[in-house]
Amino acid sequence: MSEPVRTTVEDGIAVIEIDNPPVNALSQAVRQGLVEAVQAADADPAINAIMIYGAGRTFIAGADIREFGKPPLPPSLPDVINDIEDVSTPTVCALHGTALGGGLETALGTHYRVALASARFGLPEVNLGILPGAGGTQRLPRIVPIAKAVKMITGGGMIGAKEALELGLIDEIVEGDDVRAAGVAMAKRLVAEGASARPTSARAANTVSAEDFAQMMAMVSKKARGLKAPINCMKAIEAAMTLPFEEGMTRERELFTELFTDPQSPAMIHAFFSEREVAKIPEMKTGTPRDIRKVGVVGGGTMGAGIATSALLAGLDVTLAERDTEAAEKAAATVSSHLAGAVKVGKLAQAKYDAIMGGAFRTTTDYGDFADADLVIEAVFESMEVKKDVFGQLDKICKPGAILASNTSYLNVDDIAAMTSRPQDVIGLHFFSPAHMMRLLEVVVGAKTSPDVVASGFALGKRMKKIAVRSGVCDGFIGNRILNAYARAINGAVLAGASPYDVDRAMQEFGLAMGLFRVADLAGLDIGWANRKRMAETRDPREQYSEFADRICELGRFGRKTGRGFYIHDKDKGELPDDEVLAIIANERADKGIAARDISDQEIIDRYMAAMINEAAKIVGEGIALRPLDVDITLLNGYGFPRWRGGPMHYADAVGLEKILNDIKTFAEEDDYFWQPAPLLEQLVAEGKTFASLNR
């Protein structure tokens, strides 16, 4: 392999190129090569300026995450960057693509910065459960205002070149795509002007009052919900404000090490890599995505309107069919308001909005308008009869090769496909609500779905900036099947003595944004009720069925939309617990002869997790999910599972599969029908293996 860092000399400028594809991560070889190249150039009297840039599609995307968790390899990145900053020859960094994490820290260690107009900058370490540990928390506050440093470091997002210039993070923007030329030009200009080295560390840090900082800390803590990294980021920024640079660096190292050795960081790194691994499916090799430009959407309710919005935001042409003109108009208004929301937050330009509403989007009541669609996504009522009817009609109208997709939450995609003469073109595309916001897309592969159609589903997901997960066909696919399992376990805990409010508190303390019953109230209790009625015919008599949710629905309490559900939704006071709900639950306990007992938060979580992991192990064992990591990514992106816990399978490995299996066996003493251990879980325990071993 060629050296990842190369120097050439051009008119007295040492031009240092970093070439470590795909993203120029700061591996040991890059760190070593970089510091040696800079020091060699500094020692050479013929060199008047140094210029560093990245080869390929991007500047440095950060430390090499694949080295994390392994014994450290010197030189360390903080030392490398300090050494670069210390040279007396003026040093320029030329940036393109994304300068992220250690990449931006390297740039901050150079003396001058120029960037292409398309370049973006960020410190995303917090998303990996750590902090910028190579001086980023000390140098950034010496350039940008504290409020901005707090936002960038604790938020982990990116900013564009224009903002970076305004903030003084870069000195110049250059149009075009020749980053090397931009860097060399700046270096030559600096030499001509007689500029000298300008170390960031020598500047005074920006500050805010202790009161303002305390306020920022309070906001960050509230948002962190159990994640430790943002808190340590804040402590490091505080050190930048209050300590001399070197002491600040020492403090940054302490705070970094604390995070680096905590289980939260490996969990988030698992999530990072798994989000990339989920796209690696067999059909990526055997299938070729079909060209999709024109999309039809059937049904413009909650999901149809969201799916149409998502497709329009991805630049696709969309025709949405409703049952009648009135419903079509309502759907058009919903789509328009979703898109207006995207304009408001800067996700969509006004001109694009106008172009969409004036051409790329239309509604109809005639499926005949789908004749030239490349893909039609059905999002009508969750009824097999209605769906079969829709697919029968689509089969007659759509052109050969068009993909016919269903957004069903639970129903059998093979049965739907059987209504057409082309089951190879039928697939499930299960979006999550709100469909234009949620990142998860389950791509449900039927028995006859062709590899091209599967590959097309993944390509569509990517185009819509979603994370696609491959699922086989079963009731509820990966996500909702697991949801049903843990909902049953939680209902069991409620019957045993917990209240819905205890459950929500325990789940929120565990790291979820909302507990199960809050979510149910938000989504609408009628959806789950309809599904339970559908399942009633096939329900096994051995199932310990909890009825309180049905009783609540029978009172017309469907959650937030009716003002009452598990909670009272008061306009002024928010969500309030309700004695009527507690009475319904108490009645059911009395009917069933259950004496309520104290259930600790820990027991609630143990039941929740054991049910989730057990069902997930069944799903992996049956081949519905390709790997445990596919389950993790589903729960992280569709069900609010805390990212810093890495997903249920990662969590299971962390606490130990034996403990999970033992919990299941304990709970089975109360209900041995529900708590049947997954064969895969038993096998892994017997072999002393982990779920992670199946990801490889």
**Active centre residues (catalytic):** 105, 125
Answer yes or no whether residue 55 interacts with ligand 3HC by CB under 6 A: no
Query: Under a CB-based contact definition with an 8 Å cutoff, are residues 103 and 65 in contact?
Result: no
Dihedral in degrees, nearest 10, Cα atoms 352, 358, 362, 368? -120
Q: 673 is in the binding site of which of ligand 3HC, ligand NAI, none (Cβ under 5 to 8 A by kind)?
A: none
Answer yes or no whether residue 95 interacts with ligand 3HC by CB under 6 A: no
What is the C-alpha to C-alpha distance for residues 105 and 108, in angstroms, rounded to an integer?
5
Q: Write down the H helix ranges in 111-178.
A: 136-139, 146-155, 161-167
* Residue 587: CA count within 13 A, CB half-sphere: 11
What track of x and - describes contact with ligand 3HC for positions 247 through 286 (by CB under 6 A)? --------------------------x--x----------
Q: 327 is in the binding site of which of ligand 3HC, ligand NAI, none (Cβ under 5 to 8 A by kind)?
A: ligand NAI
| Token couple for 658 | 């034996």
Annotate 443-472 with b (16+ C-beta within 10 A) or e (fewer). Answer: bbbbeebbbbbbbbbbbbbebbebbbbbbb
76 Cβ partners below 8 Å, 6+ apart? 31, 134
What does the DSSP 8-state code read for residue 579? H
Answer yes or no whether residue 89 interacts with ligand 3HC by CB under 6 A: no
Dihedral in degrees, nearest 10, Cα atoms 547, 550, 555, 559? 120
- State the minimum distance, in angstroms, from the CB of residue 31 to ligand 3HC: 11
347 Cβ partners below 8 Å, 6+ apart? 313
* Of 349, 356, 343, 397, the residue nearest 373 (C-alpha): 397
Answer yes or no whether residue 487 interacts with ligand NAI by CB under 6 A: no
Answer yes or no whether residue 500 interacts with ligand 3HC by CB under 6 A: no
Answer yes or no whether residue 379 interacts with ligand NAI by CB under 6 A: yes
Selected binder of ligand 3HC within 129, 132, 472, 642 (CB under 6 A): 132
Q: 299 is in the binding site of which of ligand NAI, ligand 3HC, none (Cβ under 5 to 8 A by kind)?
A: ligand NAI
Answer yes or no whether residue 25 interacts with ligand 3HC by CB under 6 A: yes
Answer yes or no whether residue 362 interacts with ligand NAI by CB under 6 A: no
Give the nearer residue to ligand NAI in terms of CB position, either 256 or 432: 432
Selected binder of ligand 3HC within 77, 348, 445, 469 (CB under 6 A): 77
What does the DSSP 8-state code read for residue 594? P
Selected binder of ligand 3HC within 18, 30, 134, 478 (CB under 6 A): 134
Q: 325-331 long-range CB contacts below 8 Å, 24 or more apart? A: 325/365, 327/300, 328/300, 328/363, 328/364, 328/365, 329/363, 330/300, 331/300, 331/301, 331/304, 331/305, 331/363
Query: Under a CB-based contact definition with an 8 Å cutoff, are residues 141 and 237 in contact?
Result: yes
Selected binder of ligand 3HC within 38, 49, 87, 128 (CB under 6 A): 128
**Quick check: helix, strand or coil at residue 580?**
helix
Site for ligand 3HC in 285-344 (CB under 6 A): none
Integer angstrom CA distances of residue 274 from 424, 468, 637, 681: 28, 12, 12, 21
| Token couple for 606 | 């143990």
Answer yes or no whether residue 634 interacts with ligand NAI by CB under 6 A: no
Answer yes or no whether residue 118 interacts with ligand NAI by CB under 6 A: no
What is the C-alpha to C-alpha distance for residues 153 and 233, in angstroms, rounded to an integer?
7
| Stretch of 38-46, 123-131, 329-337, 441-449 contacting ligand 3HC, by CB under 6 A | 123-131
Answer yes or no whether residue 61 interacts with ligand 3HC by CB under 6 A: yes
- State the minimum distance, in angstroms, from the CB of residue 330 to ligand 3HC: 37
* Of 354, 341, 274, 313, the residue nearest 65 (C-alpha): 274
Please say whether the dihedral angle defined by the alpha carbons of residues 686, 689, 690 and 692, taken in this order, is positive or negative: negative
Answer yes or no whether residue 380 interacts with ligand NAI by CB under 6 A: yes
Selected binder of ligand NAI within 56, 75, 263, 301 (CB under 6 A): 301
Answer yes or no whether residue 640 interacts with ligand NAI by CB under 6 A: no
| Token couple for 598 | 């104290």
Selected binder of ligand 3HC within 62, 289, 457, 559 (CB under 6 A): 62
| Stretch of 249-257, 293-301, 454-462, 627-635 contacting ligand NAI, by CB under 6 A | 293-301
Query: Under a CB-based contact definition with an 8 Å cutoff, are residues 291 and 375 in contact?
Result: no
What is the C-alpha to C-alpha distance for residues 408 and 360, in angstroms, rounded to an integer?
25
Give the nearer residue to ligand 3HC in terms of CB position, either 67 or 369: 67
| Stretch of 301-309, 455-463, 487-495, 623-631 contacting ligand NAI, by CB under 6 A | 301-309
What track of x and - describes contact with ligand NAI for positions 512 through 531 (by CB under 6 A)? -----------x--------
What is the C-alpha to C-alpha distance for residues 122 and 159, in angstroms, rounded to an integer?
6
- State the minimum distance, in angstroms, from the CB of residue 352 to ligand 3HC: 23
Answer yes or no whether residue 299 interacts with ligand NAI by CB under 6 A: yes
Partners of 13 in the beta sheet? 10, 49
Selected binder of ligand 3HC within 29, 47, 65, 535 (CB under 6 A): 65
| Stretch of 37-45, 183-191, 298-306, 653-661 contacting ligand NAI, by CB under 6 A | 298-306
Selected binder of ligand NAI within 62, 122, 248, 304 (CB under 6 A): 304
- State the minimum distance, in angstroms, from the CB of residue 54 to ligand 3HC: 11
Site for ligand NAI in 425-464 (CB under 6 A): 431-433
Partners of 405 in the beta sheet? 377, 427
Give the nearer residue to ligand NAI in terms of CB position, either 381 or 673: 381
3-state secondary structure string, 233-296? HHHHHHHHHHCCHHHHHHHHHHHHHHHHCCCHHHHHHHHHHHHHHCCCCHHHHHCCCCCCCEEE
Selected binder of ligand 3HC within 54, 124, 248, 289 (CB under 6 A): 124
Site residues for ligand NAI per CB under 6 A: 298-304, 321-323, 327, 379-382, 386, 390, 407-409, 431-433, 523
Site residues for ligand 3HC per CB under 6 A: 22-23, 25, 61-66, 77, 98, 100-102, 105, 124-125, 128, 132-134, 136, 273, 276
